Amino acid sequence: MQRLFLRMMAGNVKNTEPDFESQVYVPNTMKITTREWATMVPNAYIWMDYFSVPQIGDYMGGDTSDLISAVNSIPSYIGRCSHFFACVPVVDHNDREGVMCDYGSWLLRGWCRLEMFSLLFKRCTVHYEIEWRRS
């Protein structure tokens, strides 16, 4: 992700536009140019699932109240994001032998669904507010 953000800021990414699935909630006219990426990314508020929420376990102290507070705040964090990136590479599960993690498994996780629906609600709200102002 860091390399991608650095490439964006350097102007080394192509223009982007919504894919077919995203056009359900993002107008297909919403395109972002190489130059726009270069100016947006340095000021973007980035949400990254794993390290944006405390991970309670043997490797980290704390109690579940920290985790519950963070999870309850996810919609608020997502609502303030200027951009949302889900980094979901295909990798072996850390704790379960023979299980792969990928975009599909990301969509099955409760917190990740909360992130996705928070994003969708934000995008739909912003889209309808823009349309309402135009009319």
State residue 115's pLDDT score.
84
Domain boundaries, the chain: 2-134
**pLDDT reported for residue 131:** 59
pLDDT at 61: 58
Q: For residue 133, how many other CB atoms are within 10 A of its CB?
A: 7
Residue 21: what pLDDT?
Answer: 62
pLDDT of residue 28: 59
Contact by Cβ (8 Å): 43, 83:
no
**What tens-digit pLDDT sequence spans the chain (135 residues)?**
889 889 989 999 888 776 666 656 555 567 788 888 898 888 887 777 666 676 666 555 556 677 778 788 888 888 877 777 777 888 998 888 999 988 888 888 887 888 888 888 877 776 555 555 665
Q: What is the pLDDT of residue 7?
A: 92
- Give the CA diameter of the chain: 55
One-letter amino acid of 5: F
d(CA 15, CA 33): 4
